[in-house]
Structures are given as structure tokens and as C-alpha cells.
Amino acid sequence: MHIEDFMSRKVIAGDVNNSLKEITSLMKEYDIGFIPIHEDHKIIGVLTDRDIALNIVGNQDTNHIRSYLKENIIKVGKEESIEEALNIMASNKVKRLIVTDDKKVVGILSLSDLLDYEDEKVLFTIKTIFKKEPHLKEEDVEIDAFYL
């Protein structure tokens, strides 16, 4: 099995000059939580619905998306194996990869695209991505301070 057997070939991308409202409208219209952003037909970063949700409160600039953009583009070649894609997802703790053929974007591979791929590596990748790192020590939390 190859990546191109599982990837989505329809790539919905935003332009760097789109407003945040335009980007979120695209996400809503196409029911996606991940969108590559291009400038002059070159992908310069990606946005996720989570990135937007976590950053919108502290960021007053809702007209320009550059301040929300993740410029670290994680990609995989379409000729790579599913196992290699899962390794990349796990090591980078991401659920989606941009799929390329040479330097051309040809699709998006999402972890959810691989749910029917019957291999224990999928479960391992899911566990790796979603594993919570403890940020609070138990003694820092006062459970008895909350009431219903």
C-alpha cells in the first residue's frame, strides 16, 4: 500500500492575503480542520482549527493570517510507505501531512485517512500524538476547591 492509495487529492488551500474569517469560512464549508496557506502558488505554512482557537484570543490581528501560520511544513513524498508517513506523524506529533511529488503538492494525508489501514502502527501513532505530557503536578491542583 502506498500513500497515494489513502491520501485526499483535493487540496483546499488559502491565500496568505485571505482574512482569518475567509480561512475559517473555507474550513467550515469543506469541513476541514487543516488548511495549507500559499503565496504565489507556493505553500508557505499551514493553519489548523486548533491553532486558530488557541491564538485568536491573544492576537488582535484578525485581518492577516501570517501571525497564526505554522511555517514548519511537514510533508511526505507520495512514493513513501504508509509506515514512513506514520513515523513522520508520530515523531512530529501531527495528524496531517502534505503529500508531494517532487516539489509539487499532490494531496493531504490525514491520520483519519488511515483508520482502515490494518496495522498496529496506526494505533501506536494515535497514542503518540495524543499522549498528554503532564504540565501540573498533583500537589499543584486543589481538587476540593471546586463544587457543583
* Closest C-alpha among 71, 78, 81, 72 to residue 103: 78
pLDDT in tens, 77-129: 999 999 899 999 999 999 999 999 998 999 999 988 888 777 777 777 877 87
**d(C-alpha 77, C-alpha 54), whole Å:** 30
pLDDT in tens, 2-49: 898 889 999 999 999 998 889 999 999 999 999 999 999 999 999 999
Domain segments of the chain as ranges? 3-131
* CATH (residue range 3-131): 3.10.580.10
pTM for the predicted model, two decimal places: 0.78
Task: Look at residue 64 and give its three-state secondary structure.
Answer: coil
Task: Look at residue 31 and give its three-state secondary structure.
Answer: coil
